[in-house]
Amino acid sequence: MRMQIDILSLFPEMFESPFSHSIVKRAISGGHVHINPINFRKYGIGKHQIVDDTPYGGGAGMLLKPEPIFEALDAIKEERPETKKRIILMDPAGKPFDQAMAEDFAEEEHLVFVCGHYEGYDERIRTLVTDEVSLGDYVLTGGELAAMVMVDATVRLIPGVVGNKSSILEDSHSTGLLEHPHYTRPASYRDLDVPEVLMSGNHGKIEEWRHKESLRRTFERRPDLFKELELSDQEKEWAKEFKQN
């Protein structure tokens, strides 16, 4: 099955370069996903294709009008009536995007991202969407950059896109832990040495070291994630060690 991703944006050309490289390009070339940025200004009102207007009741800024978004989504549905669509609104007030959400999106056959601009949306646009999602607790000029991040995080999880499936399963946040440190040759560089256990050939000891260091990194860098973990007896002993150090 090939995933379809449509992106409604006033600046569809912004997506050309990010999606022409690396994993996303490979996914497109391999037939795993088709990404279609759509300029919804073509559904704007009148000769000048107006897509925004002042808010009722007054206030600063301009709002995206409902008509262009409604009609753009109508066109998508008419073109592909057979697919179940997940319609995702880029919104600073939405649910924070995370790895679990990326994994959820990767299970879908058709994603539609709606990228806002200006001060916000006419509230009626929200009646069309299945998800309202935020990249973080800050405000961007528009939803395009957030959509790029979400598409990248999602596409790499589609089966067959990344050759080594285990590399995905061990990613930071996929297991609830941050990823352990990695090393490659040379074994020593500027008095910085690779831990001996990694060169020992003892795979059991290596896996134990990696798990402990993953837990340590989560403890030190993301205490919010660490406190949500259900620790084994061994992990509890390691946690005591971390606290002492």
Catalytically active residues, by annotation: 92, 119, 156, 171
How big is the CA angle at 172 (ends 167 and 176), to the nearest 5 degrees?
A: 115
Give the C-alpha separation, 96 to 54, whole Å.
28
Q: At what angle do helices 203-221 and 233-244 cross, to 10 degrees?
A: 60
The residues that bridge with 228 in the sheet, in sequence order, are none
Alpha helical stretches, state H, 8-98: 22-29, 66-79
Name the amino acid, one letter, at 70: F
Give the C-alpha separation, 191 to 240, whole Å.
30
